Structure formats: structure tokens, C-alpha cells
Amino acid sequence: MTSPASDGDARCLRATAPELGLGAFTDIPVPARVKVMGAMRVAPNATVAAWINQCVELCQPDGLYYCDGSEAERQELFAQGVKDGIFIKLNQEKLPGCFLHRSNTNDVARTEQCTFICTPNQDNAGPTNNWMESKAAYDKLRALYHGCMKGRTMYVVPFVMGPIGSPLAKVGIELTDSLYVAVNMSIMTRMGQVAWQQLGDDDQFTRCLHSVGDCNPDRRFICHFPFDNTIWSFGSGYGGNALLGKKCLALRIASFLGQQQGWLAEHMLLMGATNPQGQTTYVAAAFPSACGKTNFAMMIPPEQYRKAGWKITTLGDDIAWMWVDDQGKLRAINPEAGYFGVVPGTNFETNPNAMHCIARNTIYTNVALLPDGDVWWEGKTAKPPAECIDWTGQKWIVDCGRKAAHPNSRFTAPMINNPVLDQAANDPKGVVISAILFGGRRSSGIPLVFQAFNWVHGVYVGAVAGSETTAAASGAIGVVRRDPMAMLPFIGYNIRDYLTHWLRMGKRMSDAPRVFHVNWFRKGADGKFLWPGFGENMRVLEWIIARTHGHGSAHETPLGWMPGPGDINLDGLDFSTEQFQRAQALNTAELKEEVQGQGELFLKLGGDMPKELVFKREMFIGRI
Ligand code: SAT
Ligand code: MN
């Protein structure tokens, strides 16, 4: 197997799991008063044992539960969760294996204002991250963790991010006092025994310590120590703040490791598109949170495409780890094993595959509960139920003016539930990426699709991408913010070095993916979306695929290469040439506004913006 980083750290690039007998494992010397539970009561090596012991001494839990990742254990944890009021068992005839969780009402989205990159110098974190000096952060959080698990159980959750045996696969261990987090991690990652085996006697693992504490927003800190491969999260039980394998490890810590070792950790879905000739093209697409990555990754093409033999398959819906192989091609894996998707708006029209994913063995967070033990959310059915229990646990009746489900309510579903899971989803070698898409929510000014002129221009297009904010993060909703590569909240180091890293990656590829920008969300004067979206996005994707294979026509514009109405297949769609032109229209005043908006990012970086991107901006201004 190819090493992703010839200049990298070999300890992080374990290719195969060591075959260790149980005899090689180490007992963990926790104090006698701590009740030890779970099937797997050992650590793979003395470093792990010592670290767990230190965290036990700091947090002082009453019990220690070792998760082994088995089905029996999952059932035991759900049963315990129901007893403790953490889970509500849903109607098992309608939703086998499904449970509902209601979070604290102050803890419903990622909190970027409480998220820190903790390093010796502020320059390590750069102008776009909150920064804390590492020692100060450790001191502050150590005081919060001190005794925080008294009366609670600490779950030991060992996990692997990435297909087992992949050169990029990484081991993490999360110590958490949240049973909800432990069970979610068993869906979202390859969790349990398998991680002990992958780690063996290695001391390279991400040390993830998590406590919900008293869930007080004033004492909420999500701290990343990239130089120590450590994450300390306190005060939140919510997804991206608490499932530490996801944004914290697989994006913030991994992006830092990727920069050091020569690979990329990105906020991207991964999908395959197989044409009627049986050729599969793999595409990675970066859209910010709650901008439709899951829908796009599970898209069902329109009927005429299906009849002709087109098929879409999903590798991942949120995160991609990518490296250059020895043929000079960009390869990708999905480090996750499940989907943590936005529920509202999901239905059999918008995303039938997601509906299949969440029909069993799924955790629903902050949706509404129906009288028969089924669940409901805004957009599930055209007609709302007469009554239900809303996401806060209060009685809800139709027309009461409140939302029944929280706008950022979520499902946690195993990827094996996906009827269109790509056959390479567990392949340690990953897949070759032919196209990279950037996009976001833009109601005005930005066309449906264009192609960047080349890699450097593509990096520019990704770097300046903007999007209207959503409910996935706390704060104002609907304001355009620059979100470079959809990674603004997830770059674990200085954005200057991140953009330079992207530019350098291009130089290492002999056949770099083509880069595109899409916007499914442009609206007309009537406030309605100009493009139908969802499955019809297949038409745009078909053009993108044609372009990556060197055919498919386009014309040059100030933004890049754009298809005209004759270049995209609109057959069978009730959509006129004029409507398509409106979706693609460029208007000088809007382009000027856009270039000004992009200036936000250039100002933030000041003289640190890579020169190549400064030139690309000047050339863009020249073309307008
Ligand atoms: O809560 S998560 O950060 O995992 C979801 C998202 O915001 O993309
Ligand atoms: Mn995401």
C-alpha cells in the first residue's frame, strides 16, 4: 500500500492491524472504589492504561465502562439509557432498533464561539480560529474536569476513523460521561475491540476527554491541542461538540496532521456516479453544514437517467480524507461509519435513501414524538400531525406557532443502512477523485454551476466560497459568510498554511481533479428557488462528469467555464431555456459585490494570503 506521505510520520500510517493475542493487553490500574463494567476490561498497551488512569483520577467517576462495540453491548446501553431517561424507545414495529433523545434545550448545535485551537502561539491557530495558549487551556479545563464525574460512569470508547487497514486510518479513544455519546460513537465510527487491535503497542492515538459537566453554556469549551493529538471537550453533549471522532478529530486534528504529513482532511461528501457504460466517476463536494451534502451524496437520479442506466452511490456524506497515490492521483476515504444528518426537510421525495437509512437502528435527536411512538419533523409529511410531543418534551398542537422538531434535529444512522452504499466504502485503498465541487447557500448573485480554469483557480474558488449561515451552528441564520472550502469552523491550524497546503497538493498530482462551484439555492425575484435541485442535480453532475473526462462543452466567463442551455440535458424537465439562463445569469453589479464580499477573507489574512490567490483575485476583477 502506498504511503500517503513519503515525508510523513510512519507511526501514524499503520497499514495493518497488529494481530495481538489478549495476553499482550494491559490491565488498567484504576482505584478500587471505581466499579468496572463492560466486556473489554483491558488496554492495548501501558501508555493507554496510564492515560485512562490519569483521566479517572482527574474526573473521579464512580464507574468505568469499557465499550467493545458489540451488538449485545449496544442493546445493553440502550436499555440502560431508557432506564436513565436518556432515550425513549420508539415504536419498534415501525422503527426497529430506533430511539429518541432530547438534548438540553441550551445544547442543540455546534458552538463555534466556545471552540478553541490551543497551541503555544496564536500564529499556529491563525486569524480565523479562537485561540487559547495550551497551558492556560489545560489549567482552565483541568479545574472544570476535577471531580466532574462523581456519581457518574466514564465510558471508554476506543474507535478507528477510516476503513480498517487504510494507510490513513487513525485510532482515537474517547473518555466520556455521556452514554448518548458512547452509543452514537458506536454508530459513527468503527468502535471497540477493533480499535485496540489497530492500535496495538503504538502510543499514537488521539486522546479525547469529554464531559457534559453541568451543560452550562458559560462553562462550555471544545479545546483542540493539535501538537499533543488531544481534544478536551467540556459542557456540551451535542454532536459536533461531543462526538469527538467527527469534527474535532476527523477535521480539526486531522487537517493539522494532514498538513504536516502531506494529505487533506476535508468537510466533503464522497459519491460515485456510474454511467450507462458502467464507468464510475468519484466526486468530492464541500458544502457547509446543513447545505445538502447528505441529500446530494444519496441522490436518486431522475427516472430517465435511471432507465438509461445511471446510478449514484454514497461513500460518505460529511468528511473526506484524501492523499496523492503513486500514480499522482488524488484518492479518498470516508473516515466515518455512519451519518449524523439533519432531519427537517427529509422525506421520501427529497431523500428516499436517507429515509431508508433512518428506518432502523437509528438515534433521533430533538425530533417530535407522535402518540403511537413514531417520530415527526417539519417536512416529513405535507400535512402535520394534529398533535405530538415537541422536541422539548412539551405537548404540541398544529398551528401552535412552535416548531415540533428543532431545525437542527439530527439522525444518527449506520452507513450499512444506506441502500446505495458504495462498494468501496470499506476499501482501505479508497477511490480516485475526478472532480471536487465547492458550494453553499447563495440566494443571489452566484450561478448554478461553473468550472474553475485550473487547480490554482479552483483553490481560489474554494477559498472565497461564501454561504448563508444555517441552524447547524448557534448564532444568526441566513447571513453570508466566507467559508473557505466549507472548512472555516474546522481548520485546525493557520488558514494561511491551509491554503498554501492546498496549492502545494496540486503540484504533487499528475492528474488533479477538476474543480467546480455549484449553487442549488439561487432564488428569483419571487423568492422561489430558480433550480429544482434534489434528483435533478444529476443533470448538473452529468455535465461535470463530462468535463472531467475532457468532453462536455462550455463557454468562458469571468467566473470560469460555464455550460449554456444546450450543454446541460434538460429533457423531460419542465424547465425552459430562459429559466436555465436565469439560474446561470451573471450580472456585473452582483459580481462586483461578490468580489467585495470576498475581500472579507483577504482582509482577515492580510499579507498572509498566498500570492497565487491574490493574483487570481486581481485577474477576476480584471475580467468583470
Ligand atoms: O454537529 S456536527 O458538527 O457534527 C454537524 C455539522 O454541523 O455539520
Ligand atoms: Mn458537516
- The CA distance from 588 to 537, in Å, is 26
**DSSP category for residue 250:** I
In degrees rounded to 5, what are phi and psi of residue 464? -95, 5
Q: Of all residues in the chain, what percent carry a pLDDT higher than 90?
A: 91
In the beta sheet, which residues pair with residue 213? none
Pairing verdict, β 115-119 and 221-225: parallel
Q: Which of 307, 287, 304 is nearest to 295 (CA)?
A: 287
In whole angstroms, what is the distance from residue 370 CA to residue 139 CA?
A: 46
The answer, yes or no, to whether residue 12 has pLDDT greater than 50, is no
291 given a catalytic annotation: yes
Give one word for 3, left, alpha or beta, with left for phi > 0 and alpha for psi -120 to 50.
beta
> Is 303 exposed, middle or buried, given 0-12, 13-18 or 19+ CB atoms closer than 10 A?
exposed
pTM: 0.94
Task: Using the Cα atoms of residue 51, residue 53, residue 57 and residue 59 in order, give the sign of their dihedral.
Answer: positive
Q: What does the pLDDT average to over 368-391?
A: 98
Select which of 67, 248, 291, 357 is catalytic. 291
Q: Count how many residues are written for the chain.
A: 624
Residue 376 contacts residue 368 (beta carbons within 8 Å):
yes
Query: By alpha-carbon position, which residue is closest to atom 2 of ligand 1?
Result: 240
Does ligand 1 lie within 6 Å of residue 240's CB atom?
Answer: yes
Give residue 18's pLDDT band: very low, low, confident or very high (50, 70, 90).
very low
Joined grid coordinates for residue 159: 474507535
Three-state DSSP at 113 gives helix
* Closest ligand 1 atom, residue 472 Cα: 7
252 lines ligand 1 (CB under 6 A): no
Confidence check: pLDDT of 191 > 80:
yes
Q: Please tell me the distance from the alpha carbon of residue 495 to that of residue 488, in angstroms, as a whole number.
A: 8
21 pLDDT band, cuts 50/70/90, is: very low
What integer is the mean pLDDT of 533-551?
A: 97
Residue 218 has what DSSP assignment? G
Can you give the pLDDT at residue 11? Answer: 27
Please determine, for residue 323, whether its predicted confidence score (pLDDT) is greater than 80.
Answer: yes
Distance of CA 486 to the CA centre of its chain: 10
Could you tell me the three cell numbers for 510? 499528475
Residue 562, SS3 per DSSP: strand
With contact defined as beta carbons under 8 Å apart, do 213 and 148 qualify? yes
Q: If DSSP codes are grouped into helix, strand and coil, which group holds residue 122?
A: helix
Q: Which helix (H) or strand (E) holds 190?
A: strand 190-191
Q: Tell whether ligand 1 has an atom less than 6 A from the beta carbon of residue 249.
A: no
Closest to 351 (Cα-Cα) out of 329, 380, 376, 378: 380
What is residue 451's predicted lDDT score, i.e. its pLDDT?
A: 98
User: Is the CB of 410 inside a 6 Å radius of any atom of ligand 1?
Assistant: no
Q: What is the pLDDT of residue 600?
A: 87
Q: How many CB atoms lie within 10 A of CB 458?
A: 24
Q: For the segment 242-259, what is each residue's pLDDT rounded down to a tens digit?
A: 999 999 999 999 999 999
Q: Whose CA is nearest to atom 6 of ligand 1?
A: 289
How many angstroms separate the CA atoms of 410 and 280, rounded?
30
Q: Confidence band (pLDDT; 50, 70, 90) for 24? A: low
Model confidence at 122, pLDDT cuts 50, 70, 90, reads very high
